[in-house]
Chains A and B, each alone.
Chain A
């Protein structure tokens, strides 16, 4: 039983880590792949 719990905990941890990494990678991707312009440092 303890072993199953440990496996479950490891599995959850791995999934969480992978989800966080994927989210960070995709956030960086859209930040540099897209070209939206919010003002670009031009004062207003």
Chain B
């Protein structure tokens, strides 16, 4: 949800830029958009729909995450000339790197889980296992590979929404924002 904020913010800023310049948005047509839809379908069942995600074994969830990330990296490469895509690619690459080195899931430390869901019932999560039906696996910091790139960041306390995210997620948010922001660019026409 937090990354969708970047998309919405980018679109709003693009509209403001276009309106300020008395111009229309210059939407670009991405290549191989179907790769995103193709990647979304298995992730929907593995991580987003509680009814199916709760029943999805880790042995299936992890390969789904890895394969769909590979498809998205391909999508970024095929659209690398579009604005913001190199930043999206960096974010995706950082997340992919840490995921592939940690059993195919994004590591999160027990300390971060405790901060994220302080009222979780006893036994709701365990070290070494996937956290609920998320993309995360709970691992001690000493057991995590490339811990710096894991889901170890959280929003400031004064923001009521609790979420753990990675450095890669920040790049993805910035890339998405940049792409949409560029639609309102007053100086140059967006290349297709």
Question: Could you list which residues of chain A lie within 8 angstroms of chain B, going by C-beta atoms?
Answer: 12, 15, 18-19, 21-23, 25-44
Closest to B2 in A: A36
A39 x B132 contact (CB < 8 A): yes
CA A43 – CA B134 in complex, angstroms?
12
Chain A interface main SS type: helix
How many chain B residues touch A (CB < 8 A): the figure is: 65
A7 CB, min distance to chain B CBs, angstroms: 13
User: Is B141 part of the contact surface with A, judged by Cβ < 8 Å?
Assistant: no
CB-defined contacts of A38 to chain B, threshold 8 Å: 1-2, 116, 161-163
**Other-chain contact of A30, B24, B54, B172 (Cβ < 8 Å):** B172
Contact sample, A vs B, 20 pairs, CB 8 Å cutoff: A12-B24, A15-B27, A19-B25, A22-B27, A25-B33, A26-B179, A32-B39, A32-B40, A32-B72, A33-B172, A34-B172, A35-B168, A37-B136, A38-B2, A38-B161, A42-B124, A42-B125, A42-B134, A43-B117, A43-B119
